[in-house]
Structure 1
Amino acid sequence: MDSLKSNCDALVIGRVSDSSDVHGHENATAKHHSKAPSWLTAFAPADALVMEEEAWNAYPKCRSVVKSPYFSKFFMSIDTVHKADNGYSENVHGLSEDQLAARKVEVIDIASAATDYWSYIVGRNNVDLSNFQSARSGRGPLLEGWQDHCSPVMTAYKLVTIDAPYWGFGSRLEQALMAGERSLFLESHRNCFAWIDEWLGLTVEVLRELEQQSDYSLNMKLGRPCSAESWMTQEESPVEGEKSVA
């Protein structure tokens, strides 16, 4: 059974304008992760297992790219498309015929509660969504077949692409990361619904302020100097085309 070490240790938030229109106007984050299977230390020193993640949020589309400075050939991307449907849209990512043939589709039901190893590592929300109802919106409970009966409903279509072309551990690493991402998707979206009364009605400006406070608190905890951007108001934030650097 794999064990994991530490977690995300840095966060930088900034506004970016992408002229290619691939991401459009977006919020960008950069993160450093040192969470890795313990068996991987047999192939590299622990301090070399830092993953660098860049994420672009241009809702309803999002993209994350994870790379490793030590394993230069490693690549992982997560492309997300949010649609106001019940999960039955076909090929929302516009994949080619070859990509569709290689694709494996898995439906993740947020009303389910995983009890596997990876859900333990990611952390589990013990709220039973089949008995939960939002006090502010009245949404819930999520009973069997809720996808076809609840309104409004939204599906997050996630395309995970992993390439670890390394003999001896590449395939195992790909499988471990895929299982970990599945648990992360399940728990994060379960939390999103279970915490609906905390975020419902928040404006984009308030959410950005909370992100900045999170960035500041994390850097303080790590004993790192905080950039001026951490406490910028929206009006003081970097102009479009510039990216904040901590």
Structure 2
Amino acid sequence: MPLSLEEYQVAQMYMVMKMQQQNTTGTEGVEVLENRPFEDDEFGKGQYTLKLYRLQSKAPSWLTTFAPADALVMQEEAWNSYPRCKSVIKCPYFTRFRLTIETIHKADNGLSENVHGLSKTELATREVETIDIASDTRDYWSYIIGRNSIDFSIFQSAMTGRGPLLDGWQERCNPVMTAYKLVTIDVPYWGFGSRLEQALLAGERALFLESHRNSFAWIDEWFGLSVEVLRELERQSDTSLNEKLGQHCLDESARGRIG
């Protein structure tokens, strides 16, 4: 990303809010059950969120032949202790399904090795893929998730002057940072587990690309905002999302009983 570590934190918060608003209607989208500070021995201090993603219209047609419409209701728990984050996604319908995304953000151009500290056995099975936000890759999932039309080969930020992103921009860009994501998926279902696994991985890949493209494309909207301002905007956005879905934010006592 053509951003500093500090800028990326704000960019990510803004992007998540805006994409959630764009993809939430009265029937599907994102419901925020919890959004609060946390502190534990594993991550230290950070922000914890618990969300439900209602994604019925995005289900592949082959999946809907044997699963009900609510099969793509996903529950996500996330621990954001930036620059380290972790998300765990489960599906109430496929109870043995589990998708874990661990992210470490570093101020480099993507060439660091084994930032997650994997063992030799884990490294032997790891598949590395580089996602370039300036690429114009299109597939089934890029259309399902959405695709902004900005051409980064000609885009330039009015506020920062950054861009365009031409071939090899990662080696020339300053500032620059990378989000190293470790995706682990477990779909232990005979007959369709492998197909579902590949579909979910392709979906995550498309989501990573689109969300990070948006983070830079919207730079003139979020640049100069503080994390504190974004937290307040986030609180307002959470309320708006739940109202769109006909839900209400839980009070503090109810939040304490979840999980």
CA–CA distance in 2 between the matches of 1:17 and 1:51?
Answer: 22
CA–CA distance in 2 between the matches of 1:32 and 1:24?
Answer: 25
Give 1:103-122 correspondences, 5 Å limit. 103-122=126-145
For residue 40 of structure 2, the aligned residue among 13, 19, 25 is 19
- Percent of aligned pairs sharing the same letter: 66
Give 1:169-184 correspondences, 5 Å limit. 169-184=192-207
For residue 49 of structure 2, the aligned residue among 2, 17, 29 is 29
Work out whether 1:92 is the aligned partner of 2:115. yes
Decide whether the 8 Å contact of 2:106 with 2:178 is kept in 1.
Answer: yes
- Compute the displacement of 1:169 (Å): 0.6
Work out whether 1:123 is the aligned partner of 2:146. yes
Give the equivalent residue in structure 2 for 1:138: 161
Residues 200 and 59 from structure 1, CA distance in 2 versus in 1: closer, same or farther, beyond 3 angstroms?
same
Give the equivalent residue in structure 2 for 1:195: 218
- Compute the displacement of 1:52 (Å): 0.8
- Count of residues in Structure 1 that have an aligned counterpart in Structure 2: 228
Structure with bigger RCO (C-alpha 8 Å, 6+ apart): 2
Question: Aligned to 1:94, what secondary structure does the other structure show?
Answer: coil
- Compute the displacement of 1:18 (Å): 2.9
- Compute the displacement of 1:48 (Å): 4.1
- Compute the displacement of 1:227 (Å): 3.9
What does the per-residue CA deviation read over 1:56-82, in whole Å, with 9 as the maximum and x for residues that have no partner?
111101111011222221110011111
Give 1:206-221 correspondences, 5 Å limit. 206-221=229-244
For residue 224 of structure 1, the aligned residue among 241, 247, 256 is 247
Give the equivalent residue in structure 1 for 2:101: 78
Decide whether the 8 Å contact of 1:164 with 1:174 is kept in 2.
Answer: yes
Residues 182 and 49 from structure 1, CA distance in 2 versus in 1: closer, same or farther, beyond 3 angstroms?
closer
- Compute the displacement of 1:181 (Å): 0.5
RMSD of Structure 2 on Structure 1 (CA): 2.0
Question: Aligned to 2:40, what secondary structure does the other structure show?
Answer: coil
CA–CA distance in 2 between the matches of 1:14 and 1:121?
Answer: 27
Amino acid at match of 2:191: G
Give the equivalent residue in structure 2 for 1:3: none
Structure 1's unaligned 5+ residue stretches are 1-5, 230-237
Give the equivalent residue in structure 1 for 2:5: none
Residues 244 and 213 from structure 1, CA distance in 2 versus in 1: closer, same or farther, beyond 3 angstroms?
farther
Structure 2's unaligned 5+ residue stretches are 1-26
